[in-house]
Chain A
């Protein structure tokens, strides 16, 4: 890691033997070849932890998140390395489809397909050649259980996913992402379209998922970051200002700018 802590930037010093799920080194993202959305960002994400990315609108946190599983390929230029178990997955010869299977994503708006609940979950599996009904049934059940909606949905697996409530749809999207057995789950403001009750339930689910998955979540909601995450990264204007343990960053931020943001003095 090349990060040097200064008055303007602080990075949590991970020990060398702590297991990392994914890390970026000098990541830069440009839109339309000119707008520099992410500037030289080097971050590590610890395995089986929830890391929250916070920051004002336009600070680049979503852009950064979407770069991790190459979802920005079509819309932006991403330079630098993304280290995934020793492999730089930001190379042109990398199979992006395999990357995205291993690094799943849940979006801001629940976006189930206009298919049945069952078909939503088995969609990616069938594309990967899993067609045995018994195997599919089992994966549908385990993923819905992991997303904590099995009890609500088990009797209507063959009904349209669009008929579900927003919270159920978002859980279905999580189950759909889990069905391909990823290692990392990227969540881009997953609760911003949900009501407070569904939000609280989803946060509970995230904490359970942490035991098996590494979660990186972008959130606008600082309380949410404080509630669910183990580590928090504060982005400002395409740069990381502070990366620290969540309890530290919210009680005693190292950088003045972080303090200002968290106490509502700007943004």
Chain B
């Protein structure tokens, strides 16, 4: 009996072996993904910086010059690899879209969590999810056929430009911000609302001063997520912004974003050429921006986590 017990305790059972195999499989998947992610980042880093190392182009020329015609020269004789028009374009559409979308999104989310019946909230939930599911090329197509002509009629110009891009992006990031704001509002403990109401505060005062106030880190995170999406969106924006790598004069002059120049240009350059390397530098810039947005989200999350 004793021997049998000893043997059972000393040899690995079937389940223990399964557990080991499971752990191993999980770690292998993780390693594979890590390799892919690090590979992508490394590749973009190498390709994105080769313009500065191989073609001896100054970073300041890339970031602050307004002439974009890789391979060509600026009037003063410098290489025309200035990404400033696209940087300005990207930031303009992103910030404007977030600025327009935030009040709408917060209003919708307040209605869904605080005011509407459960059924109404459910319907709205489905609608928002539907908006997320529409492919960006469809948004771009609608933008091209509806938004661009409308902008042309109302504000003149060709209709292509930052305004059209803002409107399309506004609709695209709205559901993202709405659903994340809904989560933020739902995570506000109910006893905050009760405490406020029991003190004789009106429902609106409660929403405005208590619920929104305590959900503000979450709402901010939602807005940053929306901005990250807007910043990275390529196709829909490319279809309505006009794709002219010029500094935007106004909201209806054709311009470009980092992503739109990338999508428009990547098929037309030869690997290793300056034109190609300049595009990789734009990609690197996009990657850095998305890292920045991620960092921002983490910082907000850490600062605003509920202490119960």
Contact = CB atoms under 8 A, between A and B. Distances in A.
B198 A107 contact: yes
A253 B209 CA distance: 48
A160 to B, nearest CB: 9
B307 A114 contact: yes
Contact of B200 (A98, A111, A114): A98
Interface residues of B, number: 19
Contacts of B199: 100-101, 104, 123-124, 127, 176-177, 180
Interface in B269-308: 306-308
Contacts of B196: 113, 123-124
Q: Looking at chain B's contact residues, is the secondary structure mostly helix, strand, loop, or mixed?
A: helix
A69 interface: yes
A97 interface: yes
B195 A100 contact: no
Contacts of A113: 192, 195-196, 210, 214
B195 A97 contact: no
Contacts of B202: 97, 127
B24 interface: no
Given A113-B210, A176-B199, A180-B199, A127 B194 contact: no
Interface residues of A, number: 24
Contacts of B194: 71, 107, 111
28 contacts: A71-B198, A97-B200, A99-B200, A101-B199, A104-B199, A105-B198, A107-B191, A107-B198, A111-B191, A111-B192, A111-B195, A112-B195, A113-B195, A113-B210, A114-B192, A123-B199, A123-B201, A123-B209, A124-B196, A124-B201, A127-B199, A127-B202, A128-B200, A162-B308, A173-B195, A176-B199, A177-B198, A180-B199
Interface of A: 69, 71, 97-101, 104-105, 107, 109, 111-114, 123-124, 127-128, 162, 173, 176-177, 180
Interface of B: 189, 191-192, 194-202, 205, 209-210, 214, 306-308
